[in-house]
Amino acid sequence: MAYRIAVIGLGKIAMDQHLPCIAKNKDFQLVAGVSRNAKLDSVPCFESLAALIAGGIAVDAVALCTPPSVRLAMARQALDAGYHVLIEKPPTPTVGEMVAMIDYARAKKRVLYATWHSRYNKAVDEAKARLAGKHITKMKVIWREDVRRWHPNQEWIWEPGGFGVFDPGINALSIVTKIMPEPIFVERAVIEVPSNKATPIAAQIKFKHADGGSANMSADFDWRQTGEQTWEIEIATADGMSLFLKRGGSILEINGKQIMEAPLEEYELIYEHFPELLKRGETFADVAPLQLVCDCFMLGRPALVEAFV
Ligand code: NAP
pLDDT at 248: 93
pLDDT at 145: 97
Based on the number of CB atoms within 10 Å of its own CB, is 139 exposed (0-12), middle (13-18) or buried (19 or more)?
A: buried
* Contact 167 CB / ligand 1 (< 6 Å): yes
Nearest CA, atom 1, ligand 1? 11
* Contact 126 CB / ligand 1 (< 6 Å): no
CATH class of the domain whose range is 118-263+294-305: alpha beta
134 is catalytic: no
Per-residue pLDDT tens digits of the chain, which is 309 residues long: 899 999 999 999 999 999 999 999 999 999 999 999 999 999 999 999 999 999 999 999 999 999 999 999 999 999 999 999 999 999 999 999 999 999 999 999 999 999 999 999 999 999 999 999 999 999 999 999 999 999 999 999 999 999 999 999 999 999 999 999 999 999 999 999 999 999 999 999 999 999 987 789 999 999 999 999 999 999 999 999 999 999 999 999 999 999 999 999 999 999 999 999 999 999 999 999 999 999 999 999 999 999 999
Atom of ligand 1 nearest to the CA of 14: 26
Atom of ligand 1 nearest to the CA of 13: 26
- What is the spatial distance between Cα 240 and Cα 255, in angstroms, rounded to a whole number? 9
pLDDT at 170: 98
* Contact 88 CB / ligand 1 (< 6 Å): yes
| Whole-structure pTM value | 0.96
- Coil/strand/helix, residue 208: strand
Order of strands, sheet of 230-237, starting from the edge strand that comes earlier in the sequence: 257-261, 251-254, 242-246, 230-237, 136-144, 216-222, 202-209, 184-194, 300-305
Helices (H), the chain: 12-13, 19-23, 49-54, 71-80, 95-107, 122-131, 147-150, 166-179, 266-280, 288-299
Is CATH 1.10.287.1120 the right assignment for the domain spanning 3-114? no
CA of 116 to the centre of ligand 1 (A): 15
- What is the spatial distance between Cα 182 and Cα 184, in angstroms, rounded to a whole number? 6
Tell me which of 39, 89, 138, 140 is the catalytic residue: 89
pLDDT at 213: 76
Domain with CATH 3.40.50.720 in the chain: 3-114
Domain with CATH 3.30.360.10 in the chain: 118-263+294-305
